[in-house]
């Protein structure tokens, strides 16, 4: 019932990848993929070499949100990532396009994720963002136990139901000793496009309160902005836009800082070539 102990974990580094950041959530539909996509695009636009791995193999929304869907090439045994908006990408959506659901059993899933992590030619990256599947299950556990994750971001909405699951996600990362870089409160509030009054659709402020209670940093609060959703639905992330993208650039800057803190606490980095 308990995960393997930290002492048993083999977290082999990924050659060339300096920082691995997992974006998770206890609950689905809180905007985890939206945050992961826009964070990756923002990091790239700040000049960092960035990759985005879509580990949500059952509901891979990264291709739609990044506006790209082609079959990746393989050179020898290495899969070549696609590239869009300066971000190197890998997603199960590239390999299984269309509406057919993947109904794989656990063990097969684990090997796909390992393949994505270590069989893809990511090259030199400052940041590899992993969009985890929502929840605190089997796949998440496997991944964070075997990947050399520098730190994790937990996304939540301010609703109590989402916060309840966000606390579970923070606990999961702690159990396997992955530093939590911080909590992001997404869909914090809506600015009515008609009267410009504020609507607290999913309540407000619970992300910061939960971060305080659990003694993890509070990274950002992001509004429920229909433009963010439209950016996702049309494959043109809002982080690309001047002005409107600013909250995500700000999130990217905080992430860079927190990651540096986390990396320092983990001790000196050891680079291992292939």
Q: Which stretch binds a second copy (CB under 8 A): 61-69, 82-90, 238-246, 249-257?
A: 61-69
Among residues 18, 19, 33, 90, the one that binds a second copy under rule CB under 8 A: 33
- Closest distance of CB 224 from a second copy, Å: 7
Among 10, 105, 215, 272, binds a second copy (CB under 8 A): 105
- Sequential DSSP letters for 158-174: SSHHHHHHHHHHHHHHH
Query: Given candidates 199, 212, 257, 269, which one binds a second copy under the rule CB under 8 A?
Result: 199
Helix H or strand E segment including 92: helix 92-95
Closer CB to a second copy, residue 128 or residue 170? 170
- Report the C-alpha gap between 149 and 138 in whole angstroms: 17
DSSP 31: S
- Residue 254 interacts with a second copy (CB under 8 A): yes or no: no
58 binds a second copy (CB under 8 A): yes
What is the number of other CB atoms lying within 10 angstroms of the CB of residue 62?
26
CB atoms within 10 A of CB 14: 18
Question: Applying CB under 8 A, which part among 44-52, 117-125, 129-137, 215-223 lies near a second copy?
Answer: 129-137
Q: How far apart are the first and last CA of the chain?
A: 35
Q: Is 160 in the site for a second copy (CB under 8 A)?
A: yes
Q: Which of 38, 84, 188, 203 binds a second copy (CB under 8 A)?
A: 203
Question: Of 14, 17, 20, 30, which lies in the binding site for a second copy, with binding defined by CB under 8 A?
Answer: 30
Q: How far is the CB of 78 from a second copy (least distance, A)?
A: 23
Provide long-range contacts, Cβ within 8 A and 24+ apart, for 171-178. Answer: 171/136, 172/136, 172/140, 172/141, 172/144, 173/22, 173/24, 173/144, 175/2, 175/3, 176/3, 176/6, 176/9, 176/141, 176/144, 176/145, 177/6, 178/22, 178/144, 178/149, 178/151, 178/152
DSSP string, 98-139: SSPPP---HHHHHHHHHHHHHSB---SEEEEEEEPPSSSSHH
Decide: is 244 part of the binding site for a second copy (CB under 8 A).
no
Asked whether position 260 contacts a second copy by CB under 8 A, the answer is no
Interface with a second copy, residue 109, by CB under 8 A: yes
Least distance to a second copy from the beta carbon of 218, Å? 18
Does residue 54 belong to the site contacting a second copy (CB under 8 A)?
no
Answer yes or no whether residue 212 interacts with a second copy by CB under 8 A: no
The torsion angles phi and psi of 153, rounded to 5 degrees, stand at -110, 130
Contact positions vs a second copy (CB under 8 A):
1-3, 26-30, 33, 58-59, 61, 64-65, 99-106, 108-109, 133-138, 140-141, 157, 159-162, 164-165, 167-172, 175, 190, 192-195, 197, 199-203, 224, 226, 229-230, 232-233
């Amino acid at each position: 019932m308990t995960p393997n102990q930290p002492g048993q974990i083999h977290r082999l580094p990924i050659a060339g990848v300096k920082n691995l950041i997992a974006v998770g959530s206890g609950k689905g539909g809180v905007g985890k993929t939206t945050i992961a996509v826009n964070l990756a695009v923002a990091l790239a636009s700040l000049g960092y070499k960035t990759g985005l791995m879509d580990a949500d193999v059952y509901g891979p929304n990264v291709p739609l949100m990044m506006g790209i869907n082609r079959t990746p090439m393989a050179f020898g045994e290495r899969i070549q990532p696609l590239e869009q908006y300066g971000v190197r990408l890998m997603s199960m959506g590239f390999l299984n396009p269309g509406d057919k659901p993947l109904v794989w059993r656990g063990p097969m899933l684990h090997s796909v994720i390992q393949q994505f992590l270590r069989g893809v030619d990511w090259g030199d990256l400052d940041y590899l963002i992993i969009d985890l599947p929502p929840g605190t299950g089997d796949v998440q556990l496997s991944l964070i136990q075997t990947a050399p994750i520098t730190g994790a971001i937990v996304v939540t909405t301010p609703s109590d139901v989402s916060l309840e699951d966000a606390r579970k996600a923070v606990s999961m990362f702690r159990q396997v000793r992955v530093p939590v870089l911080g909590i992001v409160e997404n869909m914090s509030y809506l600015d009515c496009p008609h009267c410009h009054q504020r609507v607290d659709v999913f309540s407000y402020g619970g992300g910061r309160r939960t971060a305080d209670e659990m003694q993890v940093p509070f990274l950002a609060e992001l509004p429920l902005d229909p433009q963010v959703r439209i950016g996702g639905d049309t494959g043109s992330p809002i982080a690309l836009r001047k002005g409107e993208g600013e909250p995500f650039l700000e999130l990217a800057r905080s992430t860079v800082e927190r990651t540096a803190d986390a990396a320092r606490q983990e001790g000196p980095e050891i680079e291992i070539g292939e």
